[in-house]
Structure 1
């Protein structure tokens, strides 16, 4: 099996974030066969007031599925990558209601967090995506 790069891990997190609920479990199993751990979690609400909750949901989902260990270094990696992804989407979503998913993927030392959002604006929906990456010690 070929080694995965940070780009491959980023693609996996994007795939998780844009997947439907029905595709999600199949995708997790498919990635697991390639030694990539992945999880996705729904998010929504006003972006500004939801930032702490979004980071918390990414952390809890990552710990629950074994993507990271329960230690401050791993917590910081997920929180930092999630915050980076949030900053990339915040300009378009500032103060507006959003709905979407967080996709997290890990292969060895590479962790990637993707945030995919639909931004509600009257009857129009804007779509935005943000991506963060961190590197941590191998499991």
Structure 2
């Protein structure tokens, strides 16, 4: 049985992929488990980038069929993305970041993970944020 832990793990793994080829292979493997997933690159000043990060998460989720275009599912992705951003913002506020958002869904379970590097001169830090939402089954 696939539950919220499995979906969260899939979102984390998608966010940690190193390149597009690995992403594509992982999407195929997850699809075999009936988990829909997508990853999106993000970067820039965190505070200035928040609306763009949420928008990119929504667009990618719709485009790949992780969610349908409706306000309930849009709200779930946007809310989870925002929660994940809040988790990393304490370390990244005002600094440049670069990384990836991983989004995964199985039936009513939706997870969004943000995995990024925070640049400060030559001293980089790494942060991760994870949020979960429940959606009605399709």
TM-score when normalising by structure 2:
0.98
2:16 paired with 1:13: no
Deviations 1:31-54 (A, max 9, x none): 000000000000000000100000
For structure 2, list consecutive stretches of 5 or more residues without a partner in the other structure: none
Alignment match, 1:55: 54
Q: Which residue does 2:38 correspond to in 1?
A: 39
| Number of residue pairs aligned between Structure 1 and Structure 2 | 137
* RMSD, matched Cα: 0.5
Counterparts of 1:31 and 1:114, CA distance in 2: 16
Match of 2:132 in 1: 133
CA distance in 2, matches of 1:137, 1:114: 20
**Residue 107 in structure 1 maps to residue 106 in structure 2:** yes
TM-score, length-scaled by structure 1: 0.97
Structure 1's unaligned 5+ residue stretches are none
Segments of 4+ moved more than 4 angstroms: none
The offset of 1:20, in angstroms, is 1.4
